[in-house]
């Protein structure tokens, strides 16, 4: 992945999905990765954004052990893993690898499914990241896929990211089994929909 980033010069506006000052920062970070000189932070400090901010995993070091993050650059990341600054979405197409979710799928699925064997799994992945994983539900104790809906029934969009972060935190701090913890979650605006299996 680092070699492909280097060959692409760190990327461009189309690949990275940013422009202006954000593009300059992304290119600088990606070029440091390609050169093997990128400083790293633990994933719980590196990843920011609405979902991560509301989950606040850095406050839950023990509970966060059950969390796996999917990354376009690194594949599978645990909350304590060192992660460099980068810009590379899972849905990007990086020559010569192609679409990253497609490239990662056969590589990370067997590893992730071994880790999840016998566990209750709650899938909070956005669609772009879900495309990088082929679940093996028969290997798990249970599989719960979640999405949020507006009160009127429409699938919730960007505004539900905060609710997803709050749900992650709720699941990590609840003493209840996954299915019961999901049933106990409520949000003032969104309705949680859970699909089993």
Assess if residue 90 is contained within a domain: yes
Buried-state track 12-46, b at ≥16 Cβ within 10 A, e below 16: eeebbebeeeebeebbebbbbbbeeebeeebbbeb
Buried-state track 63-91, b at ≥16 Cβ within 10 A, e below 16: bbebbbbbbbbbbbbbbbbebbbbbbbbb
Assess if residue 17 is contained within a domain: no
99-112 pLDDT tens trace: 999 999 999 999 99
The pTM assigned to this predicted structure is 0.91
In total, how many domains does the chain have? 1
Taking the CA of residue 194 as centre, how many other CA atoms within 13 Å lie in the half-sphere pointing to its CB?
A: 17
Assess if residue 10 is contained within a domain: no
Write out the residue range of the structural domain in which residue 50 sits: 41-196
Assess if residue 2 is contained within a domain: no
For the chain, 197 residues long, the average pLDDT of each consecutive 10-residue run is: 95 95 97 96 94 92 86 96 96 97 98 97 96 97 96 88 96 96 96 93
Tokens standing for residue 63: 């509970």
Assess if residue 5 is contained within a domain: no
Assess if residue 16 is contained within a domain: no
């Amino acid at each position: 992945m680092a070699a492909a980033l280097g060959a692409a010069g760190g990327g461009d506006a189309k690949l990275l999905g940013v422009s202006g000052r954000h593009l300059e920062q992304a290119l600088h970070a990606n070029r440091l990765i390609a050169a093997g000189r990128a400083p790293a932070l633990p994933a719980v400090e590196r990843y920011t954004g609405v979902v991560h901010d509301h989950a606040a995993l850095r406050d839950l070091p023990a509970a966060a052990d059950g969390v796996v993050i999917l990354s376009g650059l690194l594949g599978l990341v645990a909350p304590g893993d060192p992660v460099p600054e980068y810009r590379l979405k899972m849905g990007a197409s990086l020559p010569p690898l192609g679409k990253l979710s497609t490239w990662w799928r056969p590589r990370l699925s067997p590893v992730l499914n071994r880790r999840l064997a016998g566990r209750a799994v709650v899938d909070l992945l956005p669609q772009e990241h879900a495309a990088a994983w082929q679940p093996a539900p028969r290997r798990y104790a249970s599989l719960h896929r979640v999405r949020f809906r507006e009160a009127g029934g429409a699938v919730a969009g960007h505004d539900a990211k905060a609710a997803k972060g709050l749900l992650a935190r709720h699941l990590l701090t609840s003493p209840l089994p996954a299915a019961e913890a999901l049933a106990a979650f409520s949000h003032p605006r969104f309705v949680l929909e859970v699909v089993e299996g």
